[in-house]
Structure 1
Amino acid sequence: MGTLGKTDWYGSEKKIVLAVALAILAASVSVFVTLYWMMNGALLEDIRSRARVVNDYAQKHLAEGSFVHINGPEDVRRDSYMEMQATLDDIRQIANVRYLYTAKNNAEGRPVYLVDGLPMGSEDFRNPGDLIEPDIRPMLDSCLSGRFIESDQVLNTEWGAIFLTCTPVCTYGEAAPVGAVVMEFNADVVYASKIRAMLYSGALAAVIVTVCTLVTMVCLRRLATPFYKKLAYTDMLTGIGNRTAFELELGELERKLSHRIIIVLYDLNHMKRINDTWGHAAGDAYLKRMAHLLIREDPVRRGNAYRIGGDEFVTVFADEDRERLERELELFHMACTRVEVNGQPITFAYGVAEYDPSLDDGSLHATLSRADALMYRSKKAGRAPC
């Protein structure tokens, strides 16, 4: 597209491509957020449903007295501890719970483990009286004050991704909880799915944005190139070729010069008087009508017409018989006087020159200069009607 294409690219085209890229990115993000929210909500609801069932079952099979009698590592040999531990271990395995244990506040008011549902000797096994990890201590404090706690999202702890529920346990007739049943469901799959979804959707969004941006750029180039060429090479008032387009055609023809090239130069009469008398709108209408005649009437419509100055037009012919063309141009010249714009007939002076190697030496600008000289000679001689 050259300099013009580069200039426009950094203007309107860049804004369009940027808008398309942002719109696609926004749509991709919106789709991801919606799908992720739905998927994450469904997974968490499944975990919540299982947690409530396990909670109900666990509370029915726990001895409330164990929250009072069990306090330190020495109590692991109590029958009540071993019975409770076996029950919790069975529930943990059947319900596929990562951690299941009971807890209460110690004498200093800090939450501690009581009965751990893991088998004794496990790496993560906790003895009665061991302090609860800081990650979940705030939730457990709230639970031991009497609130049922359920994660509203997956918790990423130092021992993995979990979904936690904490149910306060109250003895009969007591309002304050004596302890709590804590379940930590394995949420590594949910957390990993979340990370994968973010990575995959981000990569997919990047690919979609890139592809759509490139497609948009290609389409804009294909659409914009003819559009910008038309802007660059068209006279905006008359709709025919401008001086730039004329110079390009001369350059193309000069590289070949294998055709018989004839240049006809026209200069409209009375433009100043029309502008001064009826205004520039009338003058513009006069110019438009002349251009219309050049592209619609014989013989001039067989050539390529251009407006190269204020009231100067030119037509370039290839492979035309000059004598025949000059006869037809004379008829065209006379016929134009019967065409009026705001009561003013179309009159002009013109000059015809055919490329001659001996006179023009490979330059069609020299041919144009000869046509220009003939046009002014005709104007001075008064060939054009007044």
Structure 2
Amino acid sequence: MDTEHSKIKKRKSRVDWQVSVLTAAIVIVSCSLIFFINYRLSYNNMIDELQSRASTIRDTLEDEMIREMFTELNVREDDQSELYQIAKDKMEDIRKVTSVRYLYTAKKTADGDFIYLVDGLPSDNDDFRYIGDLIEPECIPDLQRALNGETVLPNEINHTTWGNVFISYFPIVEDDEIAGVLGIEFDANRQYATFRTMRIVTPLVILAACFVAAFIAIKLFKRISNPTYQDLANTDFLTGLKNRNALEVDLSNFEFAGEYPFSVLMLDLDGLKQVNDNYGHSAGDQYIKRCCDIIRSCIPDDSAVYRMGGDEFIVILKNYTPDYLKDMVHIMVHKVKEENEKQAYLFSISIGYAVYDTTVDKNILDTIKRADSSMYEYKKKHKISNSDKDV
């Protein structure tokens, strides 16, 4: 019995596990694809917008750019020149209107140094750069690309020592030669934080969705395969009671939990074979069902009834006294007598009971054996009195 129940339980667990894994895999793949597509579309849209803004600013400054600054401005003292003041005023005005973080021009000196020329920040700003100040090292590779004639519009947010920024560089051409570079930097801390949160939170959401989907899938699987929500491996089909497999599981749980003491009723339907032979198996099924109704109507709600076989039943009860069990048996016998007045054939139930006793029982099986012996003693007496048609 233990082996059969173990196999059934393993098969059930295996199917549930397969359903869970399949559902989780589908959720992971579908959610990941949706996230990847939405993430990339949103991220690319943000980058495209920044690139478009940078190009618009370059176009605005293109015609007003004073090319002479790239040749006339070299050292800090040149900030006193009228050329510098005109160029700075224009750069500062554009920066305010467009809300960019940094707007500046730069060039490469004859000595190979990359230096700032005109900065659009106010002169009293802590980040303000003077003429001749060196460009930050992490900007030099992209700056060199611009000096080589390439418009640098990155596809990613730059992570610099001064924050997350979008840096674009545009070459400034004078007489078919590249005179210098226009640098435009947007503050991207907010955008970076938003997409970083998406990358962190989304996998957690997908994981939670997997658990929820797996749970729902198992419930739906059981609903589809078993619409009445019965555990078919542990349920008697005819009566709807628990079966022998269920008894073994529950007994193991009782033993494991140490749920003592308790009481046991053993019942056997007498004359079932004669009913089947004389009235047919349909009548025999009705006989079994009606006896089950009588049994259930006489026992407490916190008890469990199991159909062990064709005509054998067992009831596991909480700890009730022998006197209480005796009264319960008398009530059951009385109801059987009442039923016999309505039927063409006699109902008869042999009943035995036992209460768990630590002095004689090592475990619950010993209690069941004593209840079984009590039931057979009852059956012997019952057969004697049955000649008088007394239950």
TM-score range, shorter chain: 0.5 to 0.7
Q: How does 1:310-349 map to 2 (within 5 A)?
A: none
2:98 corresponds to 1:95: yes
Q: CA 1:323–1:57 in structure 2 vs 1: closer, same or farther (change >3 Å)?
A: closer
Match of 2:244 in 1: 244
2:190 corresponds to 1:183: no
Deviation of the 1:243 alpha carbon: 8.4
Q: CA 1:60–1:354 in structure 2 vs 1: closer, same or farther (change >3 Å)?
A: closer
Contact in 2 for aligned 1:263/1:368 (Cα 8 Å): no
Deviation of the 1:167 alpha carbon: 1.0
2:85 corresponds to 1:76: no
Deviation of the 1:150 alpha carbon: 0.6
Q: How does 1:118-157 map to 2 (within 5 A)?
A: 118-157=121-160
Match of 1:166 in 2: 169
Residue by residue over 1:307-357, the C-alpha shift from the partner in whole angstroms, topping out at 9 and shown as x without a partner, is 96xxxx6588x9767999xx979xxxxxxxxxxxxxxxxxxxxxx996277
Distance 1:264 1:68 in 2: 118
Q: Which amino acid aligns with 1:183?
A: I
Please identify the structure whose Cα radius of gyration is greater. 1
SS in 2 for 1:62: coil
2:111 corresponds to 1:104: no
Residue by residue over 1:189-243, the C-alpha shift from the partner in whole angstroms, topping out at 9 and shown as x without a partner, is 22122123334444544443444444445556778897884235679xx9x9998
Match of 2:24 in 1: 21
Deviation of the 1:67 alpha carbon: 0.6
Larger CA deviation: 70-79 vs 135-144: 70-79
Q: CA 1:95–1:24 in structure 2 vs 1: closer, same or farther (change >3 Å)?
A: same
Q: Which amino acid aligns with 2:153?
A: E
Distance 1:121 1:356 in 2: 102
Match of 2:64 in 1: 61
Residue by residue over 1:50-87, the C-alpha shift from the partner in whole angstroms, topping out at 9 and shown as x without a partner, is 21111011121111111112122232222212221121
Contact in 2 for aligned 1:113/1:132 (Cα 8 Å): yes
Residue by residue over 1:165-190, the C-alpha shift from the partner in whole angstroms, topping out at 9 and shown as x without a partner, is 21111212x3x412111111222222
State which of 223, 230, 233 in structure 1 corresponds to 2:232. 230
Q: TM-score, normalised by structure 1?
A: 0.63
2:17 corresponds to 1:32: no
State which of 243, 260, 269 in structure 2 corresponds to 1:262. 269
Q: Which amino acid aligns with 1:302?
A: Y
Larger CA deviation: 140-149 vs 156-165: 156-165
Residue by residue over 1:119-175, the C-alpha shift from the partner in whole angstroms, topping out at 9 and shown as x without a partner, is 223211122222221222211111100111111122122212222221111212x3x
Distance 2:155 2:55 in 1: 14
2:376 corresponds to 1:363: no
Q: Considering only aligned residues, what root-mean-square deviation do their CA atoms show, in Å?
A: 4.7
Distance 1:63 1:83 in 2: 9
Distance 1:246 1:186 in 2: 67
SS in 1 for 2:169: strand
2:58 corresponds to 1:49: no
Structure 1's unaligned 5+ residue stretches are 267-289, 330-351, 375-386
Contact in 2 for aligned 1:265/1:314 (Cα 8 Å): yes
Contact in 2 for aligned 1:98/1:186 (Cα 8 Å): yes
Over the matched positions of the two proteins, sequence identity in percent amounts to 20
SS in 1 for 2:164: strand
2:287 corresponds to 1:302: yes
Q: CA 1:247–1:200 in structure 2 vs 1: closer, same or farther (change >3 Å)?
A: closer
Contact in 2 for aligned 1:263/1:367 (Cα 8 Å): no
Match of 1:279 in 2: none
Deviation of the 1:10 alpha carbon: 4.6
Residue by residue over 1:96-134, the C-alpha shift from the partner in whole angstroms, topping out at 9 and shown as x without a partner, is 111111111122334222221112232111222222212
2:207 corresponds to 1:198: no
Q: Which amino acid aligns with 2:372?
A: S
Count residues in correspondence. Answer: 309
